[in-house]
Amino acid sequence: MAFTPSVVPSASVVSSSVVPIGSQVQSSLGKAPNRTHHLHAASLAGIAAVVVAARKSRAQTKSRGGEASEAQPAKKIGSQVWDRTAWITGYNSATTEDCYTVESKDLPSDLKGTFFRNGPAKFKVGKDQIMHPFDGDGMVAAMTFDGAGRMHFRNRFVRTPGFVEELKAGKMLYRGQFSPKAGGWLANAFDMRVKNLANTNVMFWGGRLLALWEGGKPTELDPLSLATVCESSLAGALHKEDSFTAHPRYDAATGRMVAFQYRPEPMKDITKISFWEFENNSFSLHRRVDQELPGFGFYHDCLVTKHYYILSRAPVTLNGAEALKGLLGFKSMGESISFDASKPGQLALIPRDGSPMKLIDVDAHFCFHFANGFEREYDGHLILDIVRVPDFFLGEASADPKPVWETADMEALPESKLYRYDVNPQSGKWTKTKLCDRHMDFPSVNRRVSCLEHRYTFGATSPFPEGAGPLQGVLKVDLAPEGGPASDHWLPEPHEFLGEPVFCPKATAGPGSAEDDGYVLSTLMNGKTQRSELVVLDAQKISQGPICRLPLKTFLPHGLHGTYVPGYVPTEQAIKAAWVKEPTSLGGQ
């Protein structure tokens, strides 16, 4: 499809005529401070998921509890404690790949399926230190629940060509987006080769298991053994130059899977966008829509409603001078992006039928992740639940000899909170409402209501009632109660950190079941013992904590995203028959 010029509404108005859910309408335009500072985002080619960042004092705009820039023991604010030293150990590399079965009478009998999760898990290559988690090679773990008290575990690094090359060489061969190679600027100058990290998410679709990273193509894995098959064009749907998002969306109304790619072209001051729709559980392509968005942009996640694909366009620009330093090897390329909070953010409404898109000005913000979006039946408004970050900063790794997790002030990060944007796609009028005071990310809903009206959102939350901090516990936001949204959460011990919580329906759940009739699965990293657990919570009783904790033999670092596949229950015999020990040693931490 050819370039279609954008249709930009003449004015963006914060409407007060629409009654938002929850509290008051918030006027937002004009509140943003008029300043530009350098932000250190991921890359021209790929940016991964969760905010794990170092905020340097020169860029610091707010602070809870002051300096906190060096590794330090448990930190106490109010009644909550988190153990920073333990948290840092979540960035030790995984050093084992294994396959085994764990038994527990606490495993629910109506939990039948497989939980796959991905995340960067290699933070040193030989002696070379990875400086930012986004630069770490992906490792996938799979946990199959048989409904008879047994869980079959296996984990394996994704053998991308770059991973294999570096493992053989025993050193970094590719500069990371935040991690220059050893050898100073000369070794890094003009080196724009990209290693597919396959570290962000995992998708099970059309019988294939795919490790996702938005800077490149999916990598297909064997779902039994997790052995790497090959980089995939998804049965020919992806062209040679295409990449593929780490955040596909599942359209429950049509059964289709929607995915996208973005490719900034700074010389033309545009960003090319493509959307694909795949038929239900297949790689048969229903449609592809190509568009161009103005300016430089990067897009980690999207929303899909009945008529639109939706992207959030943050007011970011590519700083030419900084990009040149990146090209010359003085900086990582990730340090070349500026966020201008004096400019509006925009929502790009891209019709699924390929008709002209609209850009709607909203308040300046950045959004890594959306929870869900849908079109309200009675007035056609777009209801978009966004994890909104008012400011944006990803870390400044190459200027510091230490990796970002050792210097990050997690409590000085921009707060990341769940908001509902109510947008009239015809007039461009919009309102926004905060749905929960807690700092959160990794939002998800029951896939049964994906792209449809939902009631519950699950996510990961910091240990503080309002402030930023490391993601540590589980949060559930309920939109329906009288008097506005309510939330429920559970936090583990100060030295324990949960990964992304993933909702999974009970095997017995039917169309008439409650939307939250199921479990929340996550992995827990114990920073004192360097052991991990699989935790299962009753999705209707989050604050009561796990109903099952399964200790693993395997250490899983802080991960990124995962997916639950209901009903995919290969037998222990099939998994063990497929398991092959890789011939190469993974090296140390």
Interface residues with Co ion (CB under 5 A) are: 49
The least distance separating Co ion from the CB of residue 91, rounded to whole angstroms, comes to 18
The least distance separating Co ion from the CB of residue 258, rounded to whole angstroms, comes to 16
* Closer residue to Co ion in complex, CB, 199/526: 199
For residue 424, give both structure tokens.
């009239």
The residues that bridge with 204 in the sheet, in sequence order, are: 209
The least distance separating Co ion from the CB of residue 171, rounded to whole angstroms, comes to 29
CA dist 380 and 218 (Å) reads 35
* Closer residue to Co ion in complex, CB, 49/172: 49
Residue nearest to Co ion (CB): 49
Report whether 403 contacts 91 (CB < 8 A): yes
CA dist 317 and 297 (Å) reads 7
* Closer residue to Co ion in complex, CB, 39/460: 460
Residues 6+ apart with CB under 8 A from 383: 373, 374, 375, 376, 420, 421, 422, 423, 453
**Position of tokens 């400019």?**
343
Amino acid occupying residue 105: K
The least distance separating Co ion from the CB of residue 214, rounded to whole angstroms, comes to 9
The least distance separating Co ion from the CB of residue 50, rounded to whole angstroms, comes to 7
* Closer residue to Co ion in complex, CB, 49/440: 49
**Sequence-ordered strand ranges (E) for 352-409:** 358-362, 370-375, 382-388
Strands in 208-212's sheet, in edge-to-edge order, are 201-205, 208-212, 219-221, 228-231
What does DSSP assign to residue 389? B
Angle at 240 between CA 236 and CA 245, to 5 degrees: 80
* Closer residue to Co ion in complex, CB, 118/274: 118
* Closer residue to Co ion in complex, CB, 49/524: 49
The least distance separating Co ion from the CB of residue 279, rounded to whole angstroms, comes to 25
Using only the alpha carbons of the chain, give its radius of gyration: 22
Backbone angle region of 539, left / alpha / beta, with phi > 0 → left and psi within -120 to 50 → alpha: alpha
The least distance separating Co ion from the CB of residue 365, rounded to whole angstroms, comes to 16
Strands in 256-265's sheet, in edge-to-edge order, are 249-251, 256-265, 270-278, 285-294
CA dist 499 and 116 (Å) reads 12
String of DSSP letters for 472-516 = -EEEEEES-STTS-EEEEE---TTEEE---EEEE-TT--TTS-TT
Print burial letters for 194-218: b (CB count within 10 Å at least 16), e (below 16): bbbbbbbbbbbbbebbbbbbbbbbb
* Closer residue to Co ion in complex, CB, 49/310: 49
* Closer residue to Co ion in complex, CB, 49/143: 49
* Closer residue to Co ion in complex, CB, 214/516: 214
* Closer residue to Co ion in complex, CB, 49/360: 49
The least distance separating Co ion from the CB of residue 561, rounded to whole angstroms, comes to 5
* Closer residue to Co ion in complex, CB, 49/550: 49
Q: Using CB atoms within 10 Å of the CB of residue 481, give its burial: 0 to 12 exposed, 13 to 18 middle, 19+ buried.
A: exposed
Residues 6+ apart with CB under 8 A from 114: 142, 143, 144, 145, 204, 223, 564, 565, 568, 569, 570
* Closer residue to Co ion in complex, CB, 49/94: 49
Give SS3 for 129: strand
* Closer residue to Co ion in complex, CB, 442/464: 442
- The helix (run of H) or strand (run of E) holding residue 206 is none
The least distance separating Co ion from the CB of residue 432, rounded to whole angstroms, comes to 21
* Closer residue to Co ion in complex, CB, 49/318: 49
The least distance separating Co ion from the CB of residue 196, rounded to whole angstroms, comes to 16
The residues that bridge with 271 in the sheet, in sequence order, are: 264, 293
The least distance separating Co ion from the CB of residue 28, rounded to whole angstroms, comes to 24
User: In terms of DSSP bridges, do strands 502-505 and 518-526 run parallel, antiparallel, or are they unpaired?
Assistant: antiparallel
The least distance separating Co ion from the CB of residue 300, rounded to whole angstroms, comes to 5
The residues that bridge with 348 in the sheet, in sequence order, are: 311, 359
The least distance separating Co ion from the CB of residue 273, rounded to whole angstroms, comes to 17
Report whether 262 contacts 302 (CB < 8 A): no
The least distance separating Co ion from the CB of residue 443, rounded to whole angstroms, comes to 10
First to last CA, the chain: 47
